[in-house]
Amino acid sequence: MSISLLLIQLLNGLQYGVLLFLLAAGLTLVFGIMSFVNLAHGSLYMVGAYAAALTYGATGSFVLAVLAAMGAALLVGVVLELTIVSRLYRRDHLDHVLATFGLVMFFNELVRLVWGPQPLFVQVPEVLAGTVQLFGFNYPSYRFAIIAVGLLVAVGSYGLIHKTRVGMLIRAGAQNPQLVGALGVNIRLLNAMLFGVGAMLAGLAGAMAGPLLSVQSGMGEPVLITTLVVIVIGGIGSVNGALYAALIVGVVDTLGRVLLPLVLRQVAERSVADAAGPALASMLVYLLMAVVLALRPQGLFPARRG
């Protein structure tokens, strides 16, 4: 494993981490502020991916596709919030788990019903279809674009939360919803907006992931679990935490998947090493989460509570 290969894998890990961040950002806010366990976040990601795939197929414009994805996810998210989610805020986490579990089943099957079980094909937009020469490798420009988008969102959300009035309301709502309500702020509207923004980010992640991965029913669940791990490691409610944790998890998972088989091949037969390697690398991420939870249950970079 040469240094340049290692650097490329690091970049791959960062790209994966950025995609996780897009999903984690919305999810962690919803968890942290409304204390709502949303297993259907992966479904919003899927909605975004499908919207993007269909729009891109119809119009040929990737920009339109991304906007459509964000719009569709926003719409679905807001509808869900107003009809189902908002009724569950005061209830137990168990009810959240149940309701969103049912939603996951519903969305997966709905998508299959309407568009069939075949994966949809999304082409990488022409302008990003090339490669960049990096450390002697050809690195896909598109993956660079993902990293760029993710960092933009990170900067943008930091600005939103810490530098604007809405952000201030969000932070205040996290600490004391009743008081914010008493100040005349429509907390219900704020919550709906927040949920919608989270959904929108998930839709964006789905649109960006489309050209890389299969757009199909059930595509949200594997990513969802990893996203949940990210926000727990980062600290529920903290967008900064989500960013750092997402990058950590992305890099650990990617490097683990690549390095562990190499290490194991020294001691075991190839197909065994190649099976154990990625599996143990996946375990690594959960192990990391378990350790973090055991030692620092509030996460590595928790949102500051007054």
Partner 1 sequence: MTSLLHRSAIVPLLFAGFAAVPFVATAIEQPFWISFFARILIYAIAASALNLALGYGGLVSFGHALFMGLGSYAVALPAFHGIASGWVHLALCIIASSLIALGVGAISLRTSGMAFIMITLAFAQMGYFLLVSLKQYGGDDGLPVAATSQFGSVDLGSTRPLYATALVVLALVTWWMAKLRAAPFGMALRGARQNARRINAIGLEARRLRLVAFVISGAICGMSGLLLANLNAFASPSSLAWTVSGELIVMVVLGGIGTVAGPVIGALVFLGLEEVLKGLTEHWMVIFGPLIVVMALVGRRGIVGLIDLWPRAPRAAAPAVLSEGGA
Partner 2 sequence: MNRTTLRASALAATLATSAFAQATTIGLMAPLSGPQALVGQDQVDGFMLAVEQLGGKLGGQATSILKEDDQLKPEVGQQIVRKLIDKDKVDAIVGLSFSNVLMGSLPRLAESGVVAIATNAGPSPIAGAQCKANVFSMAWQNDGAAEAMGKFAQDRGIKRLYLMAPNYQAGKDMLAGFKRFYKGEVVDEVYTQVNQPDYSAEIAQLQSAKPDAVFVFYPGGMGINFVKQMSQAGLGGKLPLYSVFTVDGTTLPSLGETAAGAISAAMYDASLDTPENRKFVTAFEAKYKRTPSLYAAAGFDAANVLDLGLRKAGGDPKKLAAGVKAAGGEFKSVRGPFQFGTNNMPVQNYYAFETVRVGGKVATKQIGTPLAAHADSYAALCKLP
Cα gap 13→19, rounded to integer Å: 10
Single out the residue of 37, 78, 207, 245 in contact with partner 1 (rule: CB under 8 A): 37
- Residue 104 CA to residue 236 CA, distance in Å, equals 22
| CA-wise closest residue to 33 among 136, 167, 133, 123 | 167
Binding part of the chain for partner 1, among 163-171, 194-202, 250-258, 291-299 by CB under 8 A, reads 291-299
If one asks whether residue 156 binds partner 2 (CB under 8 A), the answer comes out as no
Q: How many chain residues touch partner 1 (CB under 8 A)?
A: 49
- Residue closer to partner 2 by CB (options 112, 151) is 112
Alpha-carbon gap, residue 78 to 275, rounded angstroms: 42
Tokens of 221: 């669940």
CA neighbor of 29 nearest in space, from 285, 301, 235, 245? 235
Q: Which of 30, 103, 208, 247 is in the footprint of partner 1 by CB under 8 A?
A: 103
Asked whether position 129 contacts partner 1 by CB under 8 A, the answer is no
Q: Is 263 in the site for partner 1 (CB under 8 A)?
A: no
Residue 39: phi, psi to the nearest 5? Answer: -75, -15
Contacts within 8 Å (CB) and 24+ apart, 131-135: 134/7, 134/8, 134/11, 135/3, 135/4, 135/7, 135/8
For partner 2, the binding residue among 31, 50, 142, 244 (CB under 8 A) is: 142
Tell which phi-psi region holds residue 164, choosing left (phi > 0), alpha (psi between -120 and 50) or beta: beta
- Minimal distance, residue 148 CB to partner 1, in Å: 30
Instruction: Give the helix/strand (H/E) hosting 65.
Output: helix 62-80
CA distances from 196 to 1, 251, 298 (A): 44, 29, 25
Q: Is 12 a binder of partner 2 (CB under 8 A)?
A: yes
- Give the range of 29-37, 139-147, 161-169, 187-195 binding partner 2 by CB under 8 A: 139-147
Complex with partner 2: residue 98 or 213, whichever CB lies closer: 213
- Choose the contact partner of 95 out of partner 1, partner 2, none; CB within 5 to 8 A by kind: partner 1
Is 91 or 162 the residue whose CB approaches partner 1 more closely? Answer: 91
Given the complex with partner 2, which of 139 and 158 has the nearer CB atom? Answer: 139
What's the residue count for the chain? 306
Residue closer to partner 2, measured from CB, 6 or 88 = 6
**CA distance readout (Å), 88 to 36, 84, 124, 194, 199:** 8, 7, 40, 16, 17
- Residues 252, 289: contact at Cβ < 8 Å? no
Closer residue to partner 1 (CB): 9 or 282: 282
31 binds partner 1 (CB under 8 A): yes
82 binds partner 1 (CB under 8 A): no
At which residue do the structure tokens 């970079």 appear? 301
Q: Which helix (H) or strand (E) holds 197?
A: helix 187-209
Q: Which stretch binds partner 1 (CB under 8 A): 51-59, 70-78, 193-201, 284-292?
A: 284-292
Q: Which residues form the interface with partner 1 (CB under 8 A)?
A: 31, 35, 37, 84, 87-88, 92-99, 101-110, 112-113, 221, 225, 228-229, 232, 236, 271-272, 275-280, 282-283, 286-287, 289-290, 293-294, 297
| Residues that bind partner 2 in the complex, under the rule CB under 8 A | 2, 4-5, 8-9, 12, 15-16, 112, 116-121, 123-124, 129-131, 137-140, 142-143, 211-214, 216-219, 222, 254, 257-258, 261, 270-271, 274-275, 278-279
